[in-house]
Amino acid sequence: MVAGHRLICPHCGHKTRFRYDTRPVASRWRHLDLGPWRLELAADLRRLCCPTHGVVVEAVPFARPGAHRSRGLDDLPAWLATRMDRSAVARLCRVSWRTVGRACERVVAAEMDPDRLDGLFRIGVDEISWRKHHKYPTPGGRP
Ligand SMILES: [Zn+2]
């Protein structure tokens, strides 16, 4: 069981002291490897009745809702993916290629500001060409 008396809805942050029940099986999350050892977290989680979302499993501070990986194992591959190719990230973190993509999706959905493009009114795109005769890969490019 996660420490704390208040249960928090993972979707809206609603807090309550009343639990609906306790899940019969422990929830498990994979965390960053500890040297050569694979590290897994386990906890008996409670469920709460949120007025908006109904009966849901309580939020935990170390993992995003619905993820089977800890925040650390989501954040590290997502950060590494901005600096190296996906296959290298998968091998370094000892996760599958698809897991790297899912980690990036979760981090972007949770951490990026949805209003970051407000006020943007113009985007400039530069053409690339190949060979010496200015051939452009897009149809609108110069011949
Ligand atoms: Zn809720």
pLDDT tens digits for 104-129?
Answer: 999 999 888 889 889 988 888 777 76
Using the mean position of ligand 1's atoms as its centre, give its distance from the Cα of residue 9 in Å: 5
Going by their DSSP bridges, the two strands 46-50 and 21-22 should be labelled as antiparallel
The pLDDT assigned to 1 comes to: 52
| Whether the Cβ atoms of residue 93 and residue 76 lie closer than 8 Å to each other | yes
pLDDT at 4 over 70: no
More confident residue, 129 or 14: 14
- Residues surrounding ion ligand 1 at CB below 5 Å: 9, 11-12, 14, 50, 52-53
The pLDDT assigned to 142 comes to: 52
The pLDDT assigned to 114 comes to: 86
| Whether the Cβ atoms of residue 22 and residue 44 lie closer than 8 Å to each other | yes
Q: Read off the pLDDT of residues 22-71 as tens digits, 9 standing for 90 and up.
A: 999 999 999 999 999 999 999 999 999 999 999 999 999 999 988 899 99
Angle (nearest 5°) at CA 113 between 54 and 57: 20
Using the mean position of ligand 1's atoms as its centre, give its distance from the Cα of residue 16 in Å: 11
Using the mean position of ligand 1's atoms as its centre, give its distance from the Cα of residue 7 in Å: 11
The pLDDT assigned to 116 comes to: 87
More confident residue, 79 or 138: 79
Using the mean position of ligand 1's atoms as its centre, give its distance from the Cα of residue 60 in Å: 14
The pLDDT assigned to 11 comes to: 92
Using the mean position of ligand 1's atoms as its centre, give its distance from the Cα of residue 50 in Å: 5
Using the mean position of ligand 1's atoms as its centre, give its distance from the Cα of residue 71 in Å: 20
Return the HEC string of 78-135: HHHHCCCCHHHHHHHHCCCHHHHHHHHHHHHHHHCCCCCCCCCCCCCCCCCCECCCCE
